[in-house]
Amino acid sequence: MHNFDSLARQLAPHYSRFNVSERLLFTGHSHQAWPDVAVEGQVEAFEAAAQSVDEKWGAAFAKADVLRGYLREWYDDPDGLYCLAENTHILLISWLSAILCDKEHLKSKPKIITTDGEFHSMYRQLKRLQEEGVEVEMLPVEPLDSFAQRLADVADSNTAAIMLSRVYFESALINPQLQQVAAIGRERNIPVLIDDYHGTNNSPLSIREEGLEDCYLVTGGYKYLQWGEGNCFLRFPKSCELRPVITGWYASFSTLDKPRNNDATVFDAGEQRFSTATYDPTSQFRAAKVVAFFRQQQLDKTTIRQQYLAQLGHLRQLFVDANFNADQVRLAHEQPLTNNGGFLALRSPHAEQLRQSLLDSGVLTDSRGDILRFGVAPYINAAQIEQAIHKLAKSVAQL
């Protein structure tokens, strides 16, 4: 038995509603199964609304604090503030509105530095802003070892923000130079925003040890956290004084009863500086149950990372042993797994065709361009990984 099998088989019965034992769910980088206790959270949210009506918000906010606590622990970040929203795009828009509409930046053409490896939410929004006159510099992700130097070469006095991923959504590669990136931003007074959606809950990060306390970070629960939709957060430092132009009344609960006047718009000193307005809190009740389940199963940072690395190691070795024709499918990179996030990326000119063929044979994966992605999850066992590679071999043979 492989060293990850014991935990996988221990966990699988707790995901009976997703039937993870009988299905080949290799979309862990996109949508993981939810443990059965998540249903209890859904019901609890309904009961809170039924019993407390509009007073349910106290319970809802308490659930959101449970999620904040988990993220602070994951990121070794006791002093960070975490703003809740339904998705990361809302948070990006709010943050960008503060950055781009700052009076200093309005005097000159602002520039945003990003990479050519960003997920659709950030890439599409920045591309659209570029069409309206915002200068957007998209640095190539690779080579990774020269990224910080290349960033330093283009980060000038007009740069309004640096926005980049820690784990790139196509290749699964981890950017190893965030500490240097943060230092460049600090030295040149440029805010840095890190998209860590593909790093949260598979690749631990200590914000304190990496010197990222003054950085911003977005993440969410749809993937590795198993929280499902509606649980996204923007992490920001306590010293933050940004004033979003796109803002809603949840950003200043403390002033709702005060008379309206001509004073400047007020923002609460708490966690919701970048928030908008009323949302469905059911997601937080569900996610809080998942947090409790992870703690009950002793799924701490070390255990989670070891599980992913062991599963990915087995998956990658089986792929290598299969000796595929490199013109048909090959590893997207051959760096050590310690530089890899939570999924295995394969490069193929037939990526979409392979994805569909795998789906037809019962293996759920996904593809983006010429990248085919196999995402593991803690409940996936060795036999399932072996079945997936066997079915991949059959799909490749049919090309």
Confidence of residue 216 (pLDDT cuts 50, 70, 90): very high
Q: Give the 3-state secondary structure of residue 219.
A: strand
Regarding beta strands 159-165 and 135-139, do their DSSP bridges make them parallel or antiparallel, or are they unpaired? unpaired
Rounded-to-integer distance, Cα 355 and Cα 361, Å: 10
Q: What would the mean pLDDT of 124-135 be, rounded to a whole number?
A: 93
Phi, psi of 228 (to 5 degrees): 80, -175
**Among 164, 157, 272, which residue's Cα sits nearest to residue 212?**
164
Does residue 387 carry a pLDDT above 60?
A: yes
178 has a pLDDT exceeding 70: yes
What's residue 107's pLDDT? 56
| Average pLDDT of every residue of the chain | 95
Mean pLDDT of 340-357: 98
In this prediction, residue 262 carries a pLDDT of 87
How big, in percent rounded to 5, are the helix, strand and coil portions of the chain?
A: 45, 15, 40
Q: Measuring CA to CA, how many Å separate 231 from each of 53, 81, 290, 305? A: 22, 15, 12, 22
Predicted pLDDT at 204:
97
The H-assigned helical ranges of 141-195 are: 147-154, 178-187
Name beta bridge partners: 194: 164, 217
Mean pLDDT value of segment 104-114: 77
Whether residue 106 is predicted with pLDDT greater than 80 in this model: the reply is no
Cβ-in-10-Å burial (0-12, 13-18, 19+) of 342 comes to: buried
Which tens digits make up the pLDDT trace of 3-19?
A: 899 999 999 999 999 99
Measured CA to CA, the distance from residue 58 to residue 48 in angstroms comes to 10
Strand order in the sheet with 366-368: 330-331, 343-347, 371-375, 366-368
Q: Is 193 exposed, middle or buried (0-12, 13-18, 19+ CB in 10 A)?
A: buried
For residue 380 the two structure tokens come to: 């996936």
Mean pLDDT of 67-92: 97
Task: Find the helix or strand (DSSP H, E) in which 373 lies.
Answer: strand 371-375
Interval 236-290: pLDDT, tens:
999 999 999 999 988 887 777 788 888 888 898 889 999 999 999 999 999 999 9
Among 54, 374, 84, smallest CA distance to 229 is for 84
CA distance 208 to 171: 26
Residues 161 and 140: their CA atoms lie apart, in Å, by 17
In which band, very low, low, confident or very high, does the pLDDT at 61 lie, cut at 50, 70 and 90?
Answer: very high
* Contact partners, residue 199, CB within 8 Å, separation at least 6: 166, 167, 174, 205, 219, 341
Q: Kindly tell me if the per-residue pLDDT of 105 is higher than 70.
A: no
SS3 165: strand
Q: Phi and psi of 331, rounded to 5°? A: -65, 140
Per-residue confidence (pLDDT) for residue 104, from 0 to 100: 65
**Residue 1: predicted pLDDT:** 59
The pLDDT of 124-144, averaged and rounded, is 93
What would the pLDDT profile of 352-366 be if each residue is shown by its tens digit? 999 999 999 999 999
Using pLDDT thresholds of 50, 70 and 90, give the confidence band for residue 62: very high
Per-residue pLDDT, 293: 98
Cis omega before residue 143 (within 30°)? yes
Domains of the chain, first to last: 5-36+300-397 (3.90.1150.10), 39-290 (3.40.640.10)
pLDDT for residue 259: 82
| pLDDT band at residue 384 under the 50/70/90 scheme | very high
pTM of the predicted model as reported, rounded to 2 decimal places: 0.95
Which DSSP symbol is given to 35?
Answer: P
pLDDT of residue 254: 75
pLDDT of amino acid 101: 85
